[in-house]
Amino acid sequence: MTTVKLDILSDPICPWCYIGKTHLDKALAEVPDHPFVIEWHPFQLNPDMPREGMDRRDYLERKFGGKDGAVKAYAPVVEHAGNAGLTINFEAMTRTPNTLDAHRLIHWAGIEGKQTEVVDALFQAYFVDAKDIGDHTVLAGVAREAGMDADVAARLLQGDSDVQAIQDRDAHSRKMGVSSVPTFIVASQHAVPGAQPPELWKQVIKDIQQQLKDAEAE
């Protein structure tokens, strides 16, 4: 079967990325013969975040002017997450992490063919379990859950392997005009921004399948 690349630019602390992946998963489950081969790419919402992350209350104060501003900003997120069948545990979150190390783990997972499993585990750890996914122990646990060698992941995280590569890929995406995530790129040509509903993805898949069929018939 002919395959089509679906590149996803995402950050594991981005709630719209969590919602967008959930919508995409629903569509893919309903169209199991879809042509997509998925690869995840790094994009940090807060590239200037200290490596150790920061207290979430301080983060919300700086970004939204305090709790009231944050509640207002996150209201659409809570609504859309609920519609997608997700519960995001904002109240339990105490830290906002730097996601550079989480992106390194996603990159290494790609080498082992376990990227989506790691992305799922990161979303679960952050949005549901309210864990600090900048913490190396948490990330090693994510690696284990996704079927990777947690000890190897922990050792790699202690060094600076692929730090520059992740930062360069992030910078490249910004130069190409990406300014928000999730951004989905279909067949290296068509950008689909935002957390699109399953219906849109089913239509995209249908259109691609028809194009592939027409190409085979020529």
SS3 readout for the chain = CCCEEEEEEECCCCHHHHHHHHHHHHHHHHCCCCCEEEEEEECCCCCCCCCCCEEHHHHHHHHHCCHHHHHHHHHHHHHHHHHCCCCCCHHHCCEECCCHHHHHHHHHHHHCCCHHHHHHHHHHHHHHCCCCCCCHHHHHHHHHHCCCCHHHHHHHHHCCCCHHHHHHHHHHHHHCCCCCCCEEEECCCEEEECCCCHHHHHHHHHHHHHHHHHHHHC
Q: Tell me the average pLDDT of the chain.
A: 96
Number of domains the chain contains: 1
Is residue 154 within 8 A of residue 136, CB to CB? The reply is yes
| Residue 187 backbone zone (phi > 0: left; psi -120 to 50: alpha; other: beta) | left
* Residue 186: φ, ψ to 5°: -95, 125
User: Given this model, what pLDDT does residue 66 score?
Assistant: 82
Distances (CA, A) of 213 to 35, 97, 207, 208, 210: 12, 45, 10, 9, 5
Q: How confident is the model at residue 93 (pLDDT cuts 50, 70, 90)?
A: very high
Tell me what the mean pLDDT of segment 124-150 comes to: 98
Write down the pLDDT at residue 67. Answer: 80
- State pTM to two decimals: 0.96
Tokens of 136: 């190396």
In the prediction, which pLDDT does 29 show? 98
**Residue 218 pLDDT > 90, yes or no?**
no
Range of the domain at 20: 4-217
Token readout for 98 is 């730097």
* CB-based contact 175:7 (threshold 8 Å): no
Asked if 139 and 102 count as a contact pair (C-beta separation under 8 A), the reply is: yes
Q: Quick one: pLDDT at residue 92?
A: 97
pLDDT digits (tens, 9 = 90+) for 155-199: 999 999 999 999 999 999 999 999 999 999 999 999 999 999 999
CATH number at residue 67: 3.40.30.10
pLDDT of residue 65: 92
Omega before 32 within 30 of 0, i.e. cis: no
Interval 11-62: pLDDT, tens: 999 999 999 999 999 999 999 999 999 999 999 999 999 999 999 999 999 9
